[in-house]
Amino acid sequence: MTFWHILRVLAAGAGYTVLVTLVCIGTGLVVGLAVALLSRLRWRPLRIALFLFTYVFRGVPVLVLLFMVFFGLPGLGIRVPPLMSMVLSLGLICGAYLAEVFRGAMNAVSREEVLAAEAMGMGRVQSFRYVVLPQMLRFSAPGMINEFTSVLKYSPFAYTVGIPEIMKEAMSLTPVILRGLEVYLAVGIIYFGIYRAFLFLFKALEKRFRVPGLAAD
Amino acid sequence: MKMALIEVKNLVKRFDDKTVLKGVNVELDQGQVKVIMGASGCGKSTLLRCLNLLVQPTSGQVIFKGEDVTRPGVDVRRLRQQIGFVFQHFALYRHLTVQDNVTLGLTKLRKMTARQAEEKAFHELERVGMFEHRHKYPAQLSGGQKQRAAIVRALAMDPAVLFLDEPTSSLDPEMSREVVTVINRLYLDNVTMFCVTHDAFLAKYISDSVVFMDEGRVLEEDIAERLFYDHPNPRIREFFLGVIDLK
């Protein structure tokens, strides 16, 4: 079996790696945005709950949370499918980190621009939609890219819950051909390729929406 | 009987234990331009912001087109859509081009189509000499151009009145002159305006009358010439001796 063959076998799992990464990023975006937004409400119990969420989820290792969900919850009679387990662990942790990124970016939007939108007759939702959101997403870009690449690098944990992604394929292949170094070198190359592809895509998006002179206030 | 466009009756605004407006009474007629002057912290900007309810007055009345807008249940957004507001530091939306800054309110609030909004924006941008800068972002404009763009954004909404909050204060003299020229043109076009400024040059060339405020009260209201030179009130005389060199 040539190195090229090894690469081709492992690449079969790349689709799952991309799927896990995208699903967790999507979850992180939705959760992060929701937490950052809801944190602005003045209802104290909610603010405390959201603070605790970000505080706890940023401090728990992905693998520990993943095992709690996948192996722990069935003990309570709740069986969580593998992909959903990734969402509830890596996705939520990503959300907790992104909530901080978004919160900082939201604070960086000029207060006077929001006031200008309100003075024009926009409501809170409109001023958020047309003034705050477009700017905060741009301000968040470096933090988001950082977080997205972290998600990709944590995605191999998916093999521990049986998702047939790259690592799972590698773990199956190594005992058969007994060439671990080459197999994991191939794994590294595939991950690096996916990482570069993601980075290229994110950077292209960032460049597409870049506004001259727009910097955090 | 002629009805004032805006009538302010005994307006009071208190922030915690500090009373910024202490019973302000002032009127603005349709087509009239009034400039509000006074020392920093006398309540000029707060007054302007109380009129479109960006700041909620503590007590008193603001009558706009015959309707008390300080009463509970008033449609604040509808009120604000009738009042153009120009900020000292421009407050242009930095992620949008000049043209998009102007069309945003037209499409989202006035519900114009993109084409109608664009035509309206072109017309207003030409009016203040900003047409060729329409595709630029705020960061690519000079201070004077930013303020002209901000004026266009407010004007495009066809407001009943334009509020200008220190429109030349953050500009150097040359850019300030550029903005004064634009505001003066609006004055000649009979645009109703309430302008807060420290700029005596601006006040002289655009105002029908000047309201002088001191420590949260209207101390005097008169035409600029009478207020600026040798006024019998020592506080007013002292203030204008300190800020103007109009001769």
Q: Does B109 touch chain A (CB under 8 A)?
A: yes
Q: Is the pLDDT of residue B243 over 80?
A: no
Question: Given CB atoms, is B211 within the 8 Å cutoff of chain A?
Answer: no
> Cβ contacts (< 8 Å) between B162 and chain A: which residues?
none
Tokens of B7: 């009538």
Report the 10 Å Cβ neighbour count for A150. 18
- The CATH number covering residue A157 comes to 1.10.3720.10
**Strands, sheet with B161-165, edge to edge from the N-terminal-most edge strand:** B83-86, B161-165, B193-196, B33-38, B209-214, B217-222
CB B44 within 8 Å of CB B217: no
Q: Is B213 on the interface with A (CB under 8 A)?
A: no
pLDDT for the residue B3: 76
What is the least distance, in Å, from the CA of B106 to any CA of chain A? 10
The residue in chain B having the minimum alpha-carbon distance to the alpha carbon of residue A131 is B93
- The whole-angstrom separation of Cα B132 and Cα B128 is 11
pLDDT at residue B92 tops 70: yes
- Pairing label, strands B18-28, B59-64: unpaired
| CA-wise closest residue to B239 among B216, B212, B217 | B212
Instruction: Band the pLDDT of A213: cuts 50, 70, 90.
Output: confident
- Check pLDDT > 80 for residue B175: yes
User: Both tokens of residue A180?
Assistant: 């671990």
State mean pLDDT over A161-168.
92
SS3 A217: coil
CA distance A31 to A4: 40
Instruction: Tell me if A140 sits within 8 A of A183, measured CB to CB.
Output: no
Q: Is the pLDDT of residue B239 over 80?
A: yes
Q: For A70-94, write each residue's pLDDT tens digit.
A: 999 999 999 999 999 999 999 999 9
Please report whether residue A112 resides in a domain. yes
Q: How far apart are the first and last CA of chain A?
A: 57
Set of chain A residues whose Cβ sits within 8 Å of the Cβ of B54:
115, 118-119
Q: How far is B15 from chain A (nearest CA, A)?
A: 18
Overall domain count for chain A: 1
Chain B residue numbers touching A210 (CB-CB < 8 A): none
Contact of B77 with chain A, judged by CB distance below 8 Å, is answered with yes
Nearest residue in A to B104, CA atom: A130
Q: What is the number of CB-based contacts under 8 A between chain A and chain B?
A: 73
Flag whether A51 is in a domain. yes
Q: Measure in Å the smallest separation between the Cα of B39 and chain A Cα atoms.
A: 23
**What pLDDT score was predicted for residue B112?**
95
- Reported as a single tens digit per residue, the pLDDT across A2-18 is 999 999 999 889 999 99
Q: How confident is the model at residue A42 (pLDDT cuts 50, 70, 90)?
A: confident
CA-based nearest residue to B84, from B181, B27, B10, B150: B150
In angstroms, what separates the C-alpha of A207 from chain B's closest C-alpha?
13
Per-residue pLDDT at A79: 96
Record the pTM: 0.86
Short-list B8, B33, B37, B27, CA closest to B192? B33
ipTM score assigned to the predicted complex: 0.90
On chain B, the residues whose CB falls within 8 A of the CB of A109 are none
The rounded percent of chain A whose pLDDT value lies above 70 is 100
pLDDT in tens, B35-56: 999 999 899 999 999 999 999 9
Phi, psi of B208 (to 5 degrees): -80, -35
For the domain made up of B1-72+200-247, give the CATH fold: Rossmann fold (3.40.50)
Find the domain containing A25 and state its range. 17-166
Contact B69, B15 (CB under 8 A): no
Q: What is the mean pLDDT of residues B170-175?
A: 88
Give residue-wise pLDDT tens across range B5-34: 999 999 999 999 899 999 999 999 999 999
Mean pLDDT of all residues in A151-167: 94
Token output for B180: 């004064």
CB atoms within 10 A of CB A44: 8
Q: Binning pLDDT at 50, 70 and 90, where does residue B242 land?
A: confident
pLDDT at B229 over 90: no
- Tell me the nearest-neighbour CA distance from A213 into chain B, angstroms: 5
Query: Would the pLDDT of B69 be above 70?
Result: yes
Candidate from B77, B138, B139 with C-beta closest to A121: B77
| Chain B contact present for A66, CB below 8 A | no
CA dihedral A78, A81, A83, A89 (to 10 degrees): 20
Mean pLDDT of chain B: 92
Give the model's confidence band at A217: pLDDT under 50 very low, under 70 low, under 90 confident, else very high.
Answer: low
User: pLDDT value at position B245?
Assistant: 60
Give the C-alpha distances (Å, rounded to integers) separating B15 from A66, B72, B202. Answer: 51, 20, 30
Q: How far apart are CA B161 and CA A45, in angstroms?
A: 43
Q: Average pLDDT of A25-34? A: 97
Q: What is the mean pLDDT of chain A?
A: 94
| Domain membership flag for residue A127 | yes
| Amino acid symbol at A168 | K
Q: What does the domain layout of chain B look like in residue ranges?
A: 1-72+200-247
The string over B8-24, giving b where at least 16 C-beta atoms fall within 10 Å of a residue's C-beta and e elsewhere, is beebbbeeeeeebbeeb
Predicted local distance difference test score (pLDDT) of residue B247: 45
Interface subset of A 127-186, CB within 8 angstroms of B = 130-131, 134-135, 138
| Both structure tokens of A60 | 């728990």
Closest to A141 measured CA to CA, from A77, A208, A75:
A208
The rounded distance, in Å, linking the Cα atoms of B61 and B43 is: 16
B213 contacts B38 by C-beta, under 8 angstroms: yes
Cα separation of B78 and B6, whole Å?
15
